[in-house]
Amino acid sequence: MGKIILTGDRPTGRLHIGHYVGSLRRRVEMQNSGEFEKIYIMIADAQALTDNAEHPEKVRQNIMEVALDYLSVGLNPAKTTILIQSQIPELTELTFYYSDLVTVSRLQRNPTVKSEIQMRNFEASIPVGFFTYPISQAADITAFKATTVPVGEDQEPMLEQAREIVRKFNAVYGETLVEPAIALPENETCRRLPGIDGKAKMSKSLGNCIYLSDPAEKVWEKVHDMYTDPDHIKVTDPGKVEGNVVFTYLDAFVKADSFEKFLPEYANLDELKDHYRKGGVGDMKIKKFLNAVLDDELAPIRERRHYWEARIPEVYDILKAGTEEAEKVAASTLTDVKRAMKIDYFNDPDWIAEQEAKFAK
Ligand code: TRP
């Protein structure tokens, strides 16, 4: 059997460059590598509702934003199936059966759930659906028999829990589900891209994002105001590279030809860093360079976005066709699951025969 990818995002906002280096870029590479038999990318609206039950409009409005972000980074509907989670009822059914294999204390120990509960100040008022979303995520992954799940580091505990559910299911009901492996971003910087203010992770709620859909002027504004080294005042002052957001972003975005194209007086990032550390490189210079490097990556994304923004009915068709195709796959897995659990009464001729024999005397 070939390798199959399943991954997804909650549609609670537009996607930003943290998503890009953390996962989207990798997905496109994987898509174009030809290494995978199938690729499913899910817009996880049902999961988004687990902590947005009172804001369905927010989720609804962001479905198309996320779909446009997907298409604009280069996910190609001819090679990748894009689907909407809530439109596949089989996922809910799988979640229900998997819930029988998971304990409350195991969910309480899930580090992602723990930290998200803290972030949202849920404490005693955690919605049950939110608390159990790792189970639903295991359903997402296993429904498509995914072998490979490219996600950010914060999702590692989700994958661990999904793998446990698979092992438990297979042990109890017989070999049925496929155990998925996580595919993490290539390096540390990409796993946890900080916000433009240098604080924690880039995140919508902190308002420190550069969005994939930001126009070029907006990106420059954000780069211009970026946090560098507060002690690097004069150009001649020695500067710090660690914790300097401009350098962190350069680590994530510089490509083999970036220096040749935009800053030929340096051979590579190490040379630029050395010079900055010694003193003699101004912040404006590194910001302009970063802006050029970002623009190089974001301009084609922006262009594709404009293309698709002018073709919303086509995007709608892509989502609908992708979801329909995906539902067939999920339905087939659900059939396997129900057979393994012996709750396939109407598809099992043995059941009739068994019952007949039992009552024959
Ligand atoms: N939890 C993921 C996030 O917050 C989204 C998601 C839902 C997902 N289902 C998934 C990711 C299945 C990978 C696999 O971004």
| CB 223 within 8 Å of CB 32 | no
DSSP state of 263: -
Distance 246 CA to ligand 1 centre (A): 29
Alpha helix stretches (DSSP H) within 120-241: 128-131, 133-143, 156-173, 188-191, 216-224
Q: How far, in Å, CA of 53 to CA of 44, rounded? A: 14
Render each residue's pLDDT in the chain as its tens digit; 361 residues: 699 999 999 999 999 999 999 889 999 999 999 999 999 999 999 999 999 999 999 999 999 999 999 999 999 999 999 999 999 999 999 999 999 999 999 999 999 888 888 877 777 788 999 999 999 999 999 999 999 999 888 899 999 999 999 999 999 999 999 999 999 887 777 888 999 988 878 888 888 999 999 999 999 999 999 999 999 999 999 999 999 999 999 999 999 999 999 999 999 999 999 999 999 999 999 999 999 999 999 999 999 999 999 999 999 999 999 999 999 999 999 999 999 999 999 999 999 999 999 999 7
Q: How far, in Å, CA of 181 to CA of 36, rounded? A: 14
Q: How far, in Å, CA of 123 to CA of 2, rounded? A: 43
| CB 305 within 8 Å of CB 213 | yes
Ligand 1 is surrounded, with C-beta below 6 A, by 6-10, 42, 44, 47, 137, 140-141, 149, 151, 155
Instruction: Please name the amino acid found at residue 269.
Output: L
Q: How many CB atoms lie within 10 A of CB 64?
A: 17
The residue nearest atom 2 of ligand 1, judged by CA position, is: 9
Q: How far, in Å, CA of 314 to CA of 254, rounded? A: 34
Sort residue 121 into left (φ over 0), alpha (ψ -120 to 50) or beta.
left
The phi, psi pair for 296, rounded to 5°, reads -55, -40
Full-model pTM: 0.93
Strands (E), 12-144: 36-43, 81-84
